[in-house]
Structure 1
Amino acid sequence: MNRRDFLTQTSLATGGVLLLKTPGTAAPVAKAATRTILLRSSWNDHNIGDQGHTPGTLRLLERYIPEAEILLWHEEPRPETEKIITRHFPKVKIVRGSFYDGDKPFEGELKDAFDRASMYIVNSGMVFNYGLFGYDWANTMARLTPFYYCLDRGTPFGLYGQSFDRFAHPSMPVFRDVFSRAAFIYTRDDESRKFLKENNFKPRVLEFGPDGCFGIDVRDEERGRAYLKKSGLDDQKFLVVVIRTNTKHIYDKSGGSVLNPAQATPEQQEQDRQRLGKVRELITTWVRQTGMKVLLAPEVSKEVAQAKTGVYDQLPADIQSKVVWRDTFWNADEAMSVYARAHSMFGIEPHSLIMGLALGVPVVHARPLAHGLKGWMFRDIGLPEWLFEIDQTPASAMSDELMKIHQNYPLAKEKVRKAMAFVADRQKVGMQVIRKKLQLTS
């Protein structure tokens, strides 16, 4: 038995306590065994939602499992996200590197992190689907390989706040084999939970658990307040609008992807035209009925330009004068400081809206069905009346819901409070399960 296995078994036998002999004494003294959580997260620097998963889940781990050491794995460089983590989570150690690289041996800080880990957790997203957005088998297996490494070493693993939409042939038995051996799987929408259950996935825990971004509380008040002052946006006197288009990511050097095509098809171009037309109509209704301003805010870097050409430039002059187009991208903590002062939010993207809810701000989400099951999370936390399908819903229906929020704002704020109380309860339950799996019972 090697030293690591001996220490692990000893800690289990003593309820999470290692008995160490102090020099010069005859009796051992108790010392708490260290638990190390390796969290894989931070999917993108160019998307504040992909940034937001990380500080949200880190805050929950810090709150509910404060004695654990947290290692954060960034496979790709994430300099902007790392600014947020370094500033707001100084105890978290960031680990960089790929799990494998051709014929090179698995070594260095990432291997050390996996070998030290008491538990491996993959944070919120929808990366474990096959056939939903493509059929890249090699990439699918690459995402699963760390789980097999954990299984080989006896390290428990789990998935926190994931969506599962499709496991096309031949992937279903592979995903079922791996995920049925997970310590826990929390799905951020109940449709994903049903999907796994109906396909006979049997992890030890399979429950609804909100997207990690719901835990976010980081702010950059200096930048946020400066931007609001410069833009002439007063507290609770503006609507935030977030768009999403069928366009290529500005940093993508490949051929694009299904949801971010290098060259949109005529059908996708028409889809964008229809969607942004509804957004302009909604903005016009808001300004004329409330007299309040609108902030066109980017959740994804590519949408800065699209909001200008597709929305702002095409608004009537009297409406345009009440609309602020943000002309630069930002990080999640600055966005949080701005969203905290919004009256309400409307978005085709979901994670800015999650940030808004975490701040107590009412939201309306107009989801594209092609983005998957994740949109159901707004229904599943108790806000079905604020969830729409953008391609099937007229702008008037979405505008009407925004006006209901405006006309009875205290009621809307109470709806947010109740939804977030439910979210907080589910977060607590999930973190308690993780504590239990780590043999931390207090």
Structure 2
Amino acid sequence: MTLHRRQFLAQLTGLCTTLGLSRFGSAAPARPPRVLLRSSWQTVNIGDVAHSPGVMRLLYDHMPGVEVTLWPGNIGNGVEEMLRRNFPQLVIAKTAAARRKAFEDCDFLLHGSGPYLVAQKHVAEWREKTGKPYGIYGITLSRVDDQARSLINDAAFIYFRDTISLAFAKEAGLACPVMEFGPDGAFAMDCRNDAAAEKFLEQHNLEDGRFLVVIPRLRYTPYWLIKKNRPLDQERHAVNEKLKESDHAKVREAVVAFVRQTGMKVLLCPEDETHMQIGREMILGRLPDDVRKQTVWRENFWLPDEAVSTYRRALALLSMDMHSPIMAVGNGTPAIHCRFEEQTSKGQMWNDIGLGDWLFDLDKEDDGSGITREVLKFAAAPQMARSRVAEAMQFVRQRQEATMAELRTHLPAKG
């Protein structure tokens, strides 16, 4: 890449900072390294919310004293308040002026986890205006245009949250110096709201370790129901309508067996804002009466801190979406993920971390018998299941440490 004069000066300034020199050769004031985190894509899905606090936790834990600035897409609906409660030292660049200051002050841009290179144009802006290093953390990749190729090749590193994406990058001839598997940032999401979780569980007589969390979803998220000015996508809506019964029937089969054979309860809850209605229609409303009486339907959306506190208290989790299983396993609770073709390859990460027998492809399952079998194993041997989770998380944490170690090599030493 040809350096513009502005980029050259920015890199020279960064070098002087690293060496403890000012432009005039005198000692520069010592300061901690500064990272600009580009993340927080939307708030309608608690998985998208969880990416940011997960990566923040890794940054703060592995680099004590680091100064983190969040460049968010959306932190409304209570998300900003949750972040500030858990990370009071966090700087949030919500305005153009704050982002300009972040470009001047920060040493490194870190693109957070997501389904692709979500903030591609903003990474390009950072490269063009600052010439400072940047990295890409825990994404899925299944396509690459010329700009994305250039950005990835110029990155200090790119970590893929599933090995299918890593294989794609290699086959596509991408040439970033560090291209490896790196877990989704949400694995490190540990924000909690125990008071809210305990209040809800008590109200519905859900005992710790004696309920199964179940999360539904359609093949395509019907954003036209929750986002203003988003028109109905007739093609995707047709796919949803065609497959929603056969998909959810397999999950319902496991729910019925779980309740009848264990006597425990089920909590039906959301990962995105459309799941409350889907859960009521496709699971709760189609259960036998005896099972429905043992099923609690959460009718209101929530933030991931309350979700995490709830998942920690569950026996296990059965989800048709991906990030609740990630948050559950990240907090010690066994989780099954049911995927299908319309999702990205992110489900592969269950194989990658050693939990492949808890991953079910609904396009290949004739019925819910395999899902039912694994759910009942959780009830029969809960400690064995949690030991499996601990083993998987040991590998995840090893990879997290390696990714943070790599990031540290691109930051100035703390003064």
TM normalised by structure 2 equals 0.91
How much has 1:124 moved relative to structure 2?
0.3
Could you tell me which of 309, 318, 323 is aligned with 2:281? 309
Cα distance in 2, alignment partners of residues 156 and 117 from structure 1: 10
2:14 counterpart of 1:8: yes
Counterpart CA distance in 2 for 1:196 and 1:148 is 23
Correspondence for 1:25? none
CA distance in 2, matches of 1:192, 1:380: 12
Residue type at the aligned position of 2:72: H
2:313 to 341, 346, 359: 341
Residue type at the aligned position of 1:392: K
Where structure 2 has 5 or more consecutive residues not aligned to the other structure, the ranges are none
Superimposed CA distance per residue, residues 197-244 of structure 1 (whole angstroms, 9 cap, x where no aligned partner): 111111121110000000111101111110110111000000000111
Alignment partner of 2:389 out of 412, 416, 427: 416
Matched, 1:144 2:121: yes
**In the aligned structure 1, how far is the partner of 2:313 from the partner of 2:214?**
14
Which residue of structure 1 lines up, in the alignment, with residue 187 of structure 2? 214
Residues 85 and 64 from structure 1, CA distance in 2 versus in 1: closer, same or farther, beyond 3 angstroms?
same
Q: Which residue of 2 aligns with 1:159?
A: 136
Residue 414 of structure 1 and its aligned partner are, at CA, apart by 1.0
Q: Aligned with 2:409: secondary structure?
A: helix
* Code of the aligned partner of 1:124: S
CA deviation digits over 1:109-146, x for unaligned, max 9? 212212222111110011338xxxxxxxxxxxx73343
Superposition pairs of residues 106-255 of structure 1, within 5 angstroms: 108-128=97-117, 143-167=120-144, 171=145, 173-245=146-218, 246=220, 248-249=222-223, 250-255=225-230
Q: Residue by residue, what CA displacement relative to the aligned partner does 1:37-80 show, whole Å, maximum 9, x if unpaired?
A: 11011112111111111111000000011222110011345342
Kindly indicate whether the alpha-carbon contact (under 8 Å) linking 1:176 and 1:201 is maintained by their aligned counterparts in 2. Answer: yes
Letter in 1 for 2:228: K
Identity of matched residues, %: 33
* CA separation of 1:368 and 1:256: change in aligned 2, threshold 3 A: farther
Which residue of structure 1 aligns with residue 355 of structure 2?
A: 383
Equivalent AA in structure 1 for residue 279 of structure 2: A
Relative distance call for 1:8 and 1:187 in structure 2 (3 A) is same
Tell me which of the two structures has the higher relative contact order, counting C-alpha pairs closer than 8 angstroms and 6 or more residues apart: 2
CA distance in 2, matches of 1:440, 1:276: 52
Question: Which of 39, 42, 46 pairs up with 2:40?
Answer: 42
Aligned position for 2:266: 294
How many residues are paired up?
406
SS at match of 1:159: strand
Structure 1 CA distance, aligned partners of 2:248 and 2:187?
A: 27
Give the whole-Å Cα distance in 1 for the aligned partners of 2:75 and 2:391: 38
How far apart, CA to CA, are the structure 1 residues paired with 2:130 and 2:372?
Answer: 54
Shift of 1:18: 4.6
User: Quick one: distance in 2 between partners of 1:69 and 1:441?
Assistant: 11
1:96 Cα shift? 1.5
Measured in 1, the distance between the counterparts of 2:21 and 2:83 equals 31
* Change beyond 3 A, Cα 1:417–1:238: same
Classify 1:228/1:190 alpha carbon distance in 2 versus 1 (closer, same or farther; 3 Å): same
SS in 2 for 1:124: coil
Once the two structures are TM-superposed, the CA of residue 291 in structure 1 deviates from its matched residue by: 1.0
Alpha-carbon displacement from aligned partner over 1:133-171 (angstroms, at most 9, x marks no partner): xxxxxxxxx73343243244211111100000123xxx2
Partner of 1:280: 252
- Given that 2:120 and 2:148 are in contact with CA atoms closer than 8 Å, whether structure 1 keeps it comes out as no
Partner of 1:365: 337
Q: Residue 51 of structure 1 corresponds to which residue in structure 2? A: 49
Query: Which letter maps to 2:117?
Result: F
What's the CA shift for 1:5? 6.1
| Mapped partners of 1:263, 1:232: distance in 2 | 41
Deviations 1:235-268 (A, max 9, x none): 00000001111452332123458xxx46754443
| Other-structure match for 1:103 | none
Contact 1:41-1:124 within 8 A present in 2 as well: yes
> Are the counterparts in 2 of residues 362 and 412 from structure 1 also a CA contact under 8 Å?
yes
Counterpart amino acid of residue 252 in structure 1:
K
SS of the equivalent of 1:330 reads coil
Q: Supply the distance in 2 between the matched residues of 1:271 and 1:440 (Cα, whole angstroms).
A: 54
Which residue type is aligned with residue 42 of structure 2? Answer: N
1:5–1:382 CA distance, 2 compared to 1 (3 A): closer
Q: Quick check: 1:405 aligned with 2:382?
A: no
Q: TM-score scaled by structure 1?
A: 0.86
Partners of 1:268 and 1:301 in 2: CA distance: 16
Secondary structure of 1:428's counterpart equals helix
- Deviations along 1:334-365, one digit per CA (max 9) or x if unpaired, are 11111110001100101111111011111111
Q: Specify the SS of the correspondent of 1:437.
A: coil
